[in-house]
Amino acid sequence: MKKILLLICTFFMCITCSFAQKNSGEQAPNYQKGMEFAQKGDLENAVFYFQKEIQENPKNAYGYYGMSYCLSGTYHYEEAIPYIDKAIKLMPKKDRWLGYKEKGYIYHSMGKFEEAVKIFTEGIKCDPKNPSCYRSRAESYFAMRDFLAARIDYQRIIAMQPTYWYSYFVLGEIEYAEGNYEEAKKNLLRADQLDGSHPDPLNYLSAIAYYEEDYETAATYGVNSLKITPDNEIWDILRAVDEKDTTVLLRKFNEMAKKDPKNAAWPYYASEVCSFRHQYHRAYNYLEQAAKKLNEPNQTIMESQLVALKNCGEHEQALTLMEQMIQQFDMDSNDLVNFRCTQLANCGRADEACHLLDSMLKANPSDTSRYFYVDILYLTGNYADIPTAAKAGLVLSPKSITFRNYLAENCFYNGDVEQAKKWYKEIIDISRIKFAHPEFSTEEDARKWRDTLPYFPSEYIIALYRTGQEEAARKELKIWKLDDYLQESVYVELAGVNAVMGNSEEAIEILDKALNTDAFWYTITPLYIQNIRNFNNLRDLPEFKEWLEKYEKMRRQ
């Protein structure tokens, strides 16, 4: 009888142990629910279940692992570390590599790559035949620019997983970074052969071909990359290719359009090429071809058409298209109010633009359109209405330099120089807080400081000049010496400041360079060039008139 009782007890103990094993570790229902929510991005519910698992089973490593997973996934790295440390202590040795991998990831994400390498190494010791920690350690080595160590780890991974494409891709990256293009190509081609669903190997191959001046091959790889993913980094390379060879890229896209005549992507890509050449009429024609291939209107294509029409001066047509978009895509017309007003002004319908903005401001005096309203008044030459609008703007934004600048300029050109100087002095006082800088010993130091500014301080420099501080104004201009480091939107403002200060030759030189900058065409309009008072000193110069002709000619290509 005792033997029978002993057997029954043993039987139930086995069942209980088996049940406990199935409901602990990764099999615990709370952990599984938590991971399910975490992978969906519902971290609130995920944390609830992980905490519940910790409370109900404080020796289950995976409850702590899940909490670390959530915290590190939301960038709370420091808070995640105690949880992953607890998880590592509780994990069976055979699974401990996973805890070290998560902890290493946390340190890698914090930029502590050396610590991450040490942690991944501990994970490798737990399971030397598992490639996961080798892969993570290699990424930390790569981030440290320790290419030799990274290369060794990826070669180990390849020995374990000879058909894993990513290892070959990163080896290609390493060889590329070190300028070993032939070795890079071998690895990148192998990566693409193993898994052709990723554009990254093709992007690097295209870049290598570009550096080797083989633009035909560079374009071919670029086109193949676009087949996989329409929006990727390949466009930076393709633009560089087009600058060197203006025939190859459009030819490739046209060839693809013939092979794949129902695909709207190829004429759309061709329009992109024309746009960054500033050939907006031609871009619009390609966009028309793309639109005809689709069964229904496409918002992306129509937005590109809108930009093309604006930049080639077809302002009435742009307004018509905008109204169609508002109806077809149920867009909020207020989202396009700035565009509508600019186009109305460019069509000679500035009064309509001002009326529209004025009605919006009456309905909502705190509307941010207040800023654009003053811009439209200025750009369309409605100077008499500027003081009222700018003063109302100052109520909303008491520290605004822009509104003060409009008031100062209005006073200055109306002959009230003393009042203008008062506004200019306020601009200087506010600007000095924003733009105060130390003495620079080198041009490099000046450039570093300049690159930290949110925008070009044109109002500040003009205010210095107009209040008689010419030497200080010219000193500020030296920091903004024309070079390749300038933000593209700065060119026209910088030209205007030079024009105000009488540096006519330099102003025109800067404007000429502006014709070759892409952002220029999106930040400037013929209306702006014709009406901005900063260019008053250039109006009668033959060089300025010649520049305007070049601008109009390029804009209408």
Q: Which of 290, 294, 244 is nearest to 269 (CA)?
A: 290
Q: Is 439 a residue whose pLDDT tops 50?
A: yes
522 pLDDT band, cuts 50/70/90, is low
Rounded to the nearest integer, the mean pLDDT of the chain is: 85
Question: What is the identity of the amino acid at 315?
Answer: H
Question: For residue 256, is pLDDT > 70?
Answer: yes
Least confident among 75-84, 420-429, 509-518, 536-545: 509-518
Query: Quick check: 541 pLDDT over 90?
Result: yes
The tokens describing 422, both together, are: 């008062």
Question: What single letter denotes the amino acid at residue 281?
Answer: H
- Interacting residues of 509 by C-beta distance below 8 A, sequence separation 6+: 482
Give the pLDDT of residue 143: 92
Over residues 525-543, mean pLDDT: 82
Cα angle 96, 100, 102 (rounded to 5 degrees) comes to 115
Q: What is the mean pLDDT of residues 411-424?
A: 95
Return the pLDDT at 19: 27
pLDDT tens, position by position, 281-330: 999 999 999 999 998 999 999 999 998 888 888 889 999 998 888 888 87
* The CA-based dihedral angle spanning residues 180, 181, 183, 186, taken in that order and rounded to the nearest 10 degrees: 170
**Rounded distance between C-alpha atoms, residue 503 and residue 482, angstroms:** 13
Q: Which residues contact 357 (CB under 8 A, 6 or more apart)?
A: 337, 341, 369, 372, 373, 376
User: Is the pLDDT score of 123 beyond 70?
Assistant: yes
Report the C-alpha gap between 97 and 125 in whole angstroms: 8
- Measured CA to CA in angstroms, residue 21 lies from 28, 34, 283, 298, 429 at distances of 9, 18, 65, 55, 72
Q: Residue 380 in contact with residue 345, Cβ under 8 Å?
A: yes
The residues, ordered by sequence, that sit 6+ positions from 216 with a Cβ below 8 Å of its Cβ are: 245, 248
Q: How much is the pLDDT for 485?
A: 54
Residue 475, pLDDT > 80, answer yes
User: What contacts 254, CB < 8 A, 6 or more positions away?
Assistant: 266, 270
**pLDDT band at residue 4 using 50, 70 and 90 as cut-offs:** very low
**C-alpha–C-alpha distance, residues 80 and 106, integer Å:** 8
Q: How confident is the model at residue 347, as a pLDDT? A: 81
- Among 110, 107, 111, 143, CA closest to 122: 107
What DSSP letter does each residue of 109-130 carry, written as one string? HTT-HHHHHHHHHHHHHH-TT-
Cα pseudo-dihedral 41, 45, 49, 55, rounded to 10: 130
13 confidence band (pLDDT: 50, 70, 90):
very low
pLDDT at 334 over 80: no
Q: What is the rounded distance in angstroms from the CA atom of residue 78 to the CA atom of residue 364?
A: 45
Percent of the chain having pLDDT more than 70? 90
Global pTM value: 0.68
Longest dimension (CA), the chain: 119
Task: State which H helix or E strand residue 274 sits in.
Answer: helix 265-276
Question: Over 50: is that where the pLDDT of 125 sits?
Answer: yes
Confidence (pLDDT) at 16: 29
Contacts of 469 (CB under 8 A, 6+ apart): none
Q: Provide the pLDDT for residue 532.
A: 80
